[in-house]
Amino acid sequence: MALSHDAPLGETTAPSPGPATPPHAPAKLVFCLAFAQFGAYLAVLTPVMVTLALRVSRLVPEAERGAALGQVLSVGALLAMLGNPVFGALSDRTTSRFGRRRPWLIGGMTAGLAGLAVVAVGGSVPVLVLGWAVAQLGVNAALAALTACIPDLIPPRQQARVSGIVGLTISLSMIAGSALAQAFADSMALAFLVPGVVGFAAVALLAAVLKDRPARAGAFEPYGVREFARSFWVDPRRHPDFAWNFAGRFLVFTGISCVTSYQVYFLMDRLGYTGSAVTDKVLVGTLVMVAATVAGSLLGGQLSDRSGRRKPYVLAASLVLAVSLAMIAGAQSFGTYLAAVAVFGFGEGLYLSVDVALAAAVLPDPEESAKDMGVLNIGNALPQSLVPIAAPALLALGGGGNYGALFLFGAIAAVLGAVAVQFVRSVK
pLDDT at 139 over 50: yes
Write out the chain in H/E/C secondary structure: CCECCCCCCCCCCCCCCCCCCCCCCCHHHHHHHHHHHHHHHHHHHHHHHHHHHHHHHCCCCHHHHHHHHHHHHHHHHHHHHHHHHHHHHHHHHECCCCCCCHHHHHHHHHHHHHHHHHHHHCCCHHHHHHHHHHHHHHHHHHHHHHHHHHHHHCCHHHHHHHHHHHHHHHHHHHHHHHHHHHHCCCCHHHHHHHHHHHHHHHHHHHHHHCCCCCCCCCCCCCCCHHHHHHCCCCCCCCCHHHHHHHHHHHHHHHHHHHHHHHHHHHHHHCCCCCCHHHHHHHHHHHHHHHHHHHHHHHHHHHHHHHHCCCHHHHHHHHHHHHHHHHHHHHCCCHHHHHHHHHHHHHHHHHHHHHHHHHHHHCCCCHHHHHHHHHHHHHHHHHHHHHHHHHHHHHHHHHHCCCHHHHHHHHHHHHHHHHHHHCCCCCCC
The pTM score is 0.68
Q: 173 near 260, Cβ under 8 Å?
A: no
Instruction: Please state, in angstroms and rounded to a whole number, the distance separating the CA atoms of residues 28 and 124.
Output: 43
For the chain, what is the mean pLDDT? 83
pLDDT digits (tens, 9 = 90+) for 217-234: 766 667 666 767 766 667
Instruction: Please state, in angstroms and rounded to a whole number, the distance separating the CA atoms of residues 315 and 416.
Output: 10
**107, burial (CB in 10 Å: exposed 0-12, middle 13-18, buried 19+):** middle
Instruction: Please state, in angstroms and rounded to a whole number, the distance separating the CA atoms of residues 2 and 4.
Output: 7
The full length of the chain comes to 428
pLDDT digits (tens, 9 = 90+) for 316-345: 999 999 999 999 999 999 999 999 999 999
Q: What local confidence, expressed as pLDDT, does residue 12 receive? A: 35
pLDDT digits (tens, 9 = 90+) for 259-302: 888 888 899 889 988 877 887 888 898 889 888 988 888 888 77
- Tell me the average pLDDT across 136-165: 83
Write down all domains in the chain, each with its CATH number in brackets.
27-211+227-421 (1.20.1250.20)
Q: What local confidence, expressed as pLDDT, does residue 225 receive? A: 66
pLDDT at 377 over 90: no
User: For residue 322, which amino acid is it?
Assistant: A
Q: 385 near 77, Cβ under 8 Å?
A: yes
Selection from 142-156, 241-255, 354-368 with the highest mean pLDDT? 241-255
pLDDT digits (tens, 9 = 90+) for 409-423: 999 999 999 899 888
The larger pLDDT score, comparing residue 15 to residue 253, is at: 253
pLDDT at 16 over 60: no
pLDDT digits (tens, 9 = 90+) for 89-100: 888 888 788 888
94 bridge partner residues: 3
